[in-house]
Chains A and B, each alone.
Chain A
Amino acid sequence: MAAAFTIAYAVIYVICTEVNLPLITYHPAIGEIDMLWRPVKRGPAMYWYGWMLTSLIGAVMVAGVATLVPEAWLQRAIAFGSFLAVSYLVVYSIALFIYDQASVEMEFLKWRSLSLVAAALIASILVTAIPREWHKRLWYGWVCVVPIGAIAVLAYYLVPYFTQ
């Protein structure tokens, strides 16, 4: 359950920060707290606490469900999710590269949903190709691999700060 909580939290936290889904918004200059996302009032608005709370609720729910499902399913689901994330990154990068290099307009290559479908297909094939033995138990290495992946994504989105 602890492993499922950590893994789920890392994934949900990345989604919350990128899509901006805070449970609360804190306005430090005036000391006010609003529910959900709110724009700045007087002074800046802080969403970090809200992202953590949203992720906490999501991760507790996922961890609860994880205790009910067989370990093999959990292993399969995490493997699928990890392959999906990496595949999406590769497929979408290749699609954008081709779009940039192509001499004709291929707008569809910029569609994220198309890359996501392709990534899901690749992830399904990879999960199926993995030996059955590997899926019997939950691999505890996910507890490090998934948070490291989350850090990589979070760091990538901070790149603009370092290129100004």
Chain B
Amino acid sequence: MIFWTTLLIIHGLLALALLGAVTHQAVALWWPVRASAGSFVARFRSVPSTSYVGAIIVLYVATFILGAWIYTQYRFTARLALEQLRFFKTVGIFELKEHLATIGLILLPAYWAYWRKSKSEEYAAARKSVTLLLAILVWSNFLIGHVANNARGMGS
């Protein structure tokens, strides 16, 4: 049990780092600072978006692999308990999480391709929309994971 709990904590920490990186990038891309950054919010918005691409891809893949591994344990322990407790909404929303994680993963090749040509105006709109969708997926999965863990997670 300690092994799986440790993996879950690492998975959560990686997800947190990913959440921070993708939120930074999405905000800087959609709401860029025009003048010199002064306040905290302005500094948050003024990060160089391009520098986050590699980190986001690596963090996403690492978080995904760990999540997919932990999922094997969840499937025949926590999920069975959730079903016995008739927590069907929690089970359902976790099912959605697996699909959202997959869709996020397959966005990465296009995300990387659009950011590789970060100076190209041709890909500007695609870059913005893919980054926003990826951020929404990461946020959704983070929150769903949090809810599921609260229902029947670590130490329960």
Contacts and interface: CB of A to CB of B under 8 A. Distances in A.
Given A6-B109, A161-B88, A164-B86, 18 more contacts: A6-B106, A6-B107, A6-B110, A13-B103, A29-B76, A43-B76, A44-B76, A46-B75, A143-B129, A143-B130, A147-B103, A147-B133, A151-B99, A155-B96, A155-B99, A160-B92, A161-B89, A161-B92
A147 B114 CA distance: 16
A57 B125 CA distance: 29
A137 B99 CA distance: 30
Interface of A: 2-3, 5-6, 9-10, 13, 17, 26, 28-29, 43-44, 46, 48-49, 52, 59, 140-141, 143-144, 147-148, 150-151, 154-155, 158, 160-162, 164
Given A17-B99, A140-B123, A140-B126, A147 B68 contact: no
Interface of B: 68, 71-73, 75-76, 79-80, 86, 88-89, 91-93, 95-96, 98-100, 102-103, 106-107, 109-110, 112-114, 123, 125-126, 129-130, 133
23 contacts: A3-B113, A6-B107, A6-B109, A9-B106, A17-B99, A28-B72, A28-B76, A29-B76, A46-B72, A46-B75, A48-B98, A48-B102, A140-B125, A141-B129, A144-B126, A144-B130, A150-B103, A154-B96, A154-B99, A158-B92, A161-B92, A161-B95, A164-B86
A144 B75 CA distance: 30
A10 B72 contact: no
Nearest to B140: A151
A29 B77 CA distance: 9
Contacts of A158: 92, 95-96
Nearest to B99: A154
B96 to A, nearest CB: 6
Chain A, interface SS category = helix
Nearest to B72: A28
B138 to A, nearest CB: 14
Contacts of B89: 161-162
Please report whether the interface of chain B is mostly helix, strand, loop or mixed according to DSSP: helix
Contacts of A2: 109-110, 112-113
A44 B133 contact: no
B92 A143 contact: no
Nearest to B122: A140
A147 B106 contact: yes
Nearest to B94: A161
- Nearest 9 pairs of A and B residues by beta carbon: A161-B92, A140-B126, A2-B113, A2-B109, A28-B72, A9-B106, A154-B99, A164-B88, A143-B110
A121 B56 CA distance: 42
A162 B74 CA distance: 20
A2 B93 CA distance: 29
A128 to B, nearest CB: 26
Nearest to A49: B68
